[in-house]
Amino acid sequence: MAHVALRGVTRVYPGKPEVHALGPIDLELARGEFFAVVGPSGCGKSTLLDVMAGLASPSSGEVIFEEKPVKGVPEGIGVVFQEDASFPWLTVHDNIAFGLRQAGAADAEVAAQVGYAIEFMGLKDFARAYPAQLSGGMRQRVCIARTLVLKPRLILLDEPFGALDQQTRLLMGDELLRLWRETGATILLITHALDEATMLADRVGVMSARPGRFLDVISTGWPRERDSTIVSSESFGRLTSRIWTRLRGESIRALGRT
């Protein structure tokens, strides 16, 4: 049984002419799988994430999460966005505690969970700082930690490292793998970085230019225990170039060149 399944999902924006942004998409993610999505810009990757999270409803088709159709954001799904979504009026500690407090968790529970997440994401020295005092990478960690403490069973990440430099991205990738292994969550990662997709995912879905559909799904075959050092392995380059070959034509189309 798939953990999350999309069946014939499309998303059409009304208007004249109406914009067909996505699909139809059929996709099944197994529980605990790490799935990455790459595609040309404007192909509907973020729309796909919105539909999966229940932030937008599909124009046709349905999203099934844990055997129930998604309507509104279901419990058990966490989302990390590309933009900085930290709350500037709260300290790092209170940012991370936000979701737990909203859910009415007891103070002791909040303290324990937040303490663990702060430790895990390497934010110990910044618990009392405000987001404005942190770097972009640190703020994204705060957002990841805020999602993590709610123990989501499905984590959706929309280019979470898009604004970060290359070294930070590799290290954040390692942290994401560690988090994935320790929580056992299913992860869907949207990225524009092919190497990031290849390095992190069990499977990489390659999307077409708009309306976005899956052209191909490529299995990487990595062991569950892995980190960023696999970028130097022989098959890494082969996989990345395979994805790029698939994507190249679509990217050219998306740029409007023939």
Q: What is the contact surface with other proteins in residues (CB under 8 A)?
A: 53, 55, 72-73, 75, 77-79, 81, 83-85, 87-90, 98-99, 102, 130, 132-133
Would you say 143 or 177 has its CB closer to other proteins?
143
For the bound state, the minimum distance from the C-beta of residue 68 to other proteins, rounded and expressed in Å, comes to 15
What is the CA 69 to chain-centroid distance, rounded?
20
DSSP for 62-129, please give it.
EEEETTEE--SSPTTEEEE-SS----TTS-HHHHHHHHHHHTT--HHHHHHHHHHHHHHTT-GGGTTS
Would you say 55 or 215 has its CB closer to other proteins?
55
Would you say 40 or 131 has its CB closer to other proteins?
131
For the bound state, the minimum distance from the C-beta of residue 54 to other proteins, rounded and expressed in Å, comes to 8
CB 3 within 8 A of CB 154: yes
For the bound state, the minimum distance from the C-beta of residue 253 to other proteins, rounded and expressed in Å, comes to 28
DSSP state of 21: E
For residue 59, the tally of other CB atoms under 10 A from its CB is 18
For the bound state, the minimum distance from the C-beta of residue 91 to other proteins, rounded and expressed in Å, comes to 8
Helix (H, G, I), strand (E, B) or coil at 26: strand
Would you say 102 or 258 has its CB closer to other proteins?
102
Would you say 128 or 248 has its CB closer to other proteins?
128
Letter for the amino acid at 95? Answer: N
- Please tell me the total number of residues recorded for the chain in this structure: 258
For the bound state, the minimum distance from the C-beta of residue 128 to other proteins, rounded and expressed in Å, comes to 11
